[in-house]
Amino acid sequence: MQGEVRLEGLTKRFPDEVVAVDGIDLTMPPGEFFTMVGPSGCGKTTTLRMIAGFERPTSGRILLDGLDVAQIPPHKRSVNTVFQSYALFPHLDVARNVEFGLKYKRLTKQERRLRVAEALDLVQLGGYAGRRPSQLSGGQQQRVALARALVLTPRVLLLDEPLGALDARLRKDLQVELKALQAELGITFVFVTHDQEEALTMSDRVAVMSAGRVEQAGTPREVYEEPATVFVADFLGVSNLITAEAEADGEGCALRIGERSLRAARGDTGARGEVKAMIRPERIGVEAQDAPGENRLPGMVERAVYVGTAHELHVRLVGGDLVKATIPNDGSVPAFAQGAPVTLHLPADAVRVLAPRPG
């Protein structure tokens, strides 16, 4: 049970009545790369800061391997943080920065120096020990911040949008490196980001947050393929949300869209009344006008966008909803251009019923 974090009923209310975190329950299994993702203001950073100890929860528990640390000050918790701004001490060189926390462990000077060297090698900054933070690039500073935290062998490493300040290519490279590092070390990483793509590519498990609550937590595949709410569906990747009327259909669910009816096999098939039918653009099949078969809807191509890797068709349905369908680019000229009438095939097991959130 090394490095398991459990949040129980965790709430943070600020003095100006703002409820940043609203009674969330989350389990972060040991040794996993766990990401909290959501738009700014959703409470993910506040949650992270409470785990680190920089904010005191209004109520709830934070269990680190079974021990409630909510009232323990940050310098006594065995979690370490990589800050968004890196927060490298400007008056110390790289080696002294990394060594900073080691002074609180009982080690000889020799041992400390060894550990510092190891940590720097781990992040591939072996020769940089004597440099000052101001002499380093953003990416290098980030690695020093990592080394500084990892050298203390924490059970849990917290990362607060560490890649936010880097340019796109560097970000991609570091994403891979961070993931590899985590796998190698086996430490629990708790990662916070607002970038949903980053969350999906790096994590073992993802928690999607909004307005202080956890909308859904699960593996990347689960939250992407099987979003539980409209918010999650909309936040991760592109999703189409079609207004429909849900009716019983034997044991399953039939969605009435205009005059047509679709069979939906996923999601909240027990819901009745007005719902959203969600389907990913890459699951929609685009066929010629009046193509036969079940789960088909007629529409008109309003725009055809060439995205490089795919063709994106914006199709207006009879009911008024605009739907995006993507067709992979296999080098051929697409069959359907702007203005063309088409039929969209929405396979039953790709359609998810999302009931509106109560209240």
Partner 1 sequence: MMGSRWTWRLLALPGVAWLSVFFLVALYAVVSVAFGNQNTLSEPVPFWNPLDWNVGYVLTVLRDIGSGGQYLTVFLRTFLFVGVALALSLAIGYPVAYYAARHTGRWRGLVLLALVLPFWINYLMRMLAWINLLGPGGWGTIVLHDVGIERLFIWLGLLSERGGWLDGQPTTVIIALVYGYVPFLILPLFASLDRIDQRQIEAARDLGASPFQAFRRVTLPLSLPGILAGSVLIALPMFGDYYTPDLVCASAKCNMIGNQIDQFTRQGSEKVTGAVLTLLLALVLLVLMAYYLRSTRSADADLRAGEA
Partner 2 sequence: MSRLRNPWGRPRGLVLVTAVYVLWSIVPVAVAILFAFNDGRSRTTWQGFSTRWFTGATGSVFHDAALQSSLKHTLLLGVLCVLVATPLGVALALGLQRWRGAGSGSVNTVMLLPLVTPEIVMGVALLLLFLKIFPGIGLGTTAQVIGQVTFTLSYVVVIVRGRLVSIGRDYEEAAADLGAPPRDQLLRVLLPLLAPAIVASAAVVFAISIDDFVVTQYLSSDASTTTVSMLLYSSARGAPTPALNALATVALVITLATLALAFLVYRRFAGGSDAAVAAALEV
Verify binding: residue 52, partner 2, rule CB under 8 A: yes
Residue 6 has φ and ψ, to the nearest 5°, of -125, 130
Report the site for partner 2 in 143-182 (rule: CB under 8 A).
Answer: 148-149, 152
Q: Does 116 bind partner 2 (CB under 8 A)?
A: no
Please work out the total of residues on this chain that contact partner 1, with binding judged by CB under 8 A: 5
* Alpha-carbon gap, residue 130 to 285, rounded angstroms: 59
> Of partner 1, partner 2, none, which one sits near residue 109, judging by CB under 5 to 8 A according to partner kind?
none
Extract the tokens encoding 138.
Answer: 């953003």
- Strands 352-354 and 266-267, how do they pair? parallel
Measured in residues, the chain has a length of 359
52 binds, among partner 2, partner 1, none (CB under 5 to 8 A by kind): partner 2
Does residue number 91 form part of the binding site for partner 2 (CB under 8 A)?
yes
Q: Alpha-carbon distance 11 to 23, whole Å?
A: 5
CB of 53 to partner 1, least distance (A): 7
334 binds partner 1 (CB under 8 A): no
**The token pair that represents 119 in the structure block:** 């940590």
Of the candidates 2, 18, 25, 54, which one interacts with partner 1 according to CB under 8 A? 54
- Residues in 56-75 at the binding interface with partner 2, rule: CB under 8 A: 73-75
The first and second tokens of residue 81, run together, are 């943080």
Name the residue among 197, 149, 181, 206 with its Cα closest to residue 29.
206
Point out which span in 76-84, 257-265, 268-276, 299-307 binds partner 2 (CB under 8 A).
76-84
The single residue among 43, 53, 220, 267 that binds partner 1, judged by CB under 8 A, is: 53
Binding residue for partner 1 (CB under 8 A) from 59, 67, 68, 73?
73
DSSP string of 228-288? SSHHHHHHSS--EEEEEEEEEETTEEEEEETTEEEEE-EE-TT--EEEEEEE-GGG-EEEE
Could you tell me the smallest distance in angstroms from the CB atom of residue 189 to partner 1?
Answer: 23
Selected binder of partner 1 within 75, 91, 106, 169 (CB under 8 A): 75
Q: Nearest 10 degrees: CA dihedral of 9, 12, 13, 19? A: -80
101 forms part of the interface with partner 2 (CB under 8 A)? yes
Residues in contact with 98: Cβ distance below 8 Å, sequence separation at least 6, in sequence order: 116, 119, 120, 144, 147, 148, 151
| Beta carbons within 10 angstroms of residue 159's beta carbon | 25
Interface with partner 2 (CB under 8 A), residue from 35, 46, 80, 240? 80
75 vs 169, beta carbon nearer partner 1: 75
Task: Give the residue ranges of DSSP H helices in the chain.
Answer: 44-52, 94-99, 109-122, 138-150, 168-185, 196-202, 220-225, 230-235
Question: Which of 8, 83, 243, 319: binder of partner 2 (CB under 8 A)?
Answer: 83
Taking the least distance from each CB to partner 2, the nearer of 52 and 244 is: 52
Query: What angle is formed at CA 43 by the lines to CA 3 and CA 45, rounded to 5 degrees?
Result: 55
Q: Which is nearer to partner 1, 9 or 73 (CB)?
A: 73
Establish how many alpha carbons lie within 13 A of residue 32's alpha carbon, considering only the half-sphere containing its beta carbon.
18
Assess 15 for contact with partner 1 (CB under 8 A).
no
Which residues here bind partner 1, judged by CB under 8 A? 53-54, 73-75
Which residues here bind partner 2, judged by CB under 8 A? 52-54, 73-76, 79-81, 83, 85, 87, 89-91, 100-101, 103-105, 134, 148-149, 152
